[in-house]
Amino acid sequence: MRPILTIGYEGATPARLIGALREAGVRTLVDVRALANSRRPGFAKTALAAALAEAGIGYEHLRALGTPAAGRAAVRAGRPAEMRRIFGAHLAGVEAQAALAGLTRRAGQETICLLCLEADPLHCHRTLVAEAVAAAGGATVGHLHPV
């Protein structure tokens, strides 16, 4: 199985993000934000999907793998352990498990990269998603840095 890649767009430009994805051979960017909007130009769902399409990279938004509101609040308050607990419970849910199963199948067929805001993968739920997919499919996890 291919490695499961992750990337955060904090501090990046759309061009640098796309450059990092191209360099890594990513076929599809999987957006794991609960809310695929951004105040940063170029990172809201519609604009990002269009820029990726122009670069020959697919886009998929998996809202079911986003952090619930309480988890996002915990991150903003500087409580990453609380976010992990909240997200872990969310990840065990039926909808998230179905999304994980589909993502695991897809990861076996093409190079994918999980997207969220946080620059540091150790402070972001996308690493938990990547680890769950990797464990289910026997893959490794890699992190891209667009800046």
Q: In the predicted model, is pLDDT for residue 147 greater than 90?
A: no
Q: How far apart are the C-alpha atoms of 75 and 124, rounded to whole Å?
A: 9
Give the pLDDT confidence score for residue 91 in this predicted structure: 96
Domain layout of the chain by residue ranges? 4-144
For residue 1, pLDDT beyond 90: no
* Residue 47, Cβ density class (10 Å: 0-12 exposed, 13-18 middle, ≥19 buried): middle
Q: Give pLDDT tens digits for 38-88.
A: 999 999 999 999 999 999 999 999 999 999 999 999 988 999 899 999 999
pLDDT tens string 102-135:
999 999 999 999 999 999 998 899 999 999 999 9
- Predicted pLDDT at 123: 86
Neighbouring residues of 67: CB distance < 8 A, sequence distance ≥ 6: 34, 75, 83, 86, 87, 90, 125
pTM confidence score: 0.95
The predicted pLDDT at position 31 comes to: 98
pLDDT at residue 93, as a whole number = 96
